[in-house]
Amino acid sequence: MARLSEENVRLAKEIIGRYPRARSATIPLLHLAQQQDGHVTNEAMAHIGELVGATSAEVYGTASFYEMFKFEPVGKYLINICGTMSCALMGAEDLMHHAEHRLGVKLGGTTDDGMFTLERAECQAACTEAPCLQVNYRYRFRVTDADFDSLVDDLKSGRLNDEIPAHGTVARVRQHIPLDRGVGAVPPEDVTEAPAWMDGKAAL
């Protein structure tokens, strides 16, 4: 649990290079930190502050605005069961009770083996597929108690490793933008010509 690793600092610098102002990279770097440690550590936030030229308090202020950044360790799999209208009508409460029994934790809790954290979530925009849940933000639709059990079994056995990475990994394929294709470190007010990615189409 610590500051960003050497490899991640290199990545962080590449990400910062995409923005005209270093501070704009704060949120992508928070994701990077969460991918590294599974949650965002205080040390990582202080490190991000150093990298983007902000105080730790500013980084924390930004990070804490967002539900998806966790400041305490969470399980390898974060299971969010939707409890908003459509899902509630379609039996989300029962599903939650079942999940609590199956995992042996209350909503908000993490299993002793560190595998699962169970949370109640607000609408996940899949109302036609109610009740739904997300595992590390990957959807499961029209979930029955039996579906939930087999999901947990699959996650435990590693059968879903290809589909669902550990908590904190936003995507397995990392975007790389060569510096010459980026907007570049030019403040917006100083930009007079169309950026490179428009390939001169700005004239149209």
Q: Nearer to other proteins by C-beta: 67 or 163?
A: 67
Q: Is 57 in the site for other proteins (CB under 8 A)?
A: yes
Amino acid (1-letter code) at residue 41:
T
Interaction between residue 133 and other proteins (CB under 8 A):
no
Closest contact distance (angstroms) between CB of 203 and other proteins is 33
Least distance (Å) from other proteins to the CB of residue 69? 11
- Contact pick of 9, 22, 27, 46 for other proteins (by CB under 8 A): 46
Smallest distance from the beta carbon of 126 to other proteins, in angstroms?
23
Instruction: Count the residues of the shown chain that bind other proteins, applying the rule CB under 8 A.
Output: 14
Cβ 45 to other proteins, closest distance in Å? 7
Work out the angle at residue 172's Cα, subtended by the Cα atoms of residues 77 and 116, and round it to the nearest 5 degrees: 5
| Cβ burial 24-50 (10 Å sphere, 16+ → b, else e) | ebbebbbbbbbbbbbbbbeebbbbbbe
Beta strands (DSSP E) in the chain are 77-82, 116-121, 133-135, 138-140
Task: List, in sequence order, the alpha helices (H) in 105-164.
Answer: 145-157
Of 40, 44, 45, 52, which lies in the binding site for other proteins, with binding defined by CB under 8 A? 45
Cα(101)–Cα(5) distance, rounded to whole angstroms? 38
- Of residues 59-88, which lie at the interface with other proteins (CB under 8 A)? 59-61, 64-66
* Interface contacts to other proteins, rule CB under 8 A: 42, 45-46, 54-61, 64-66
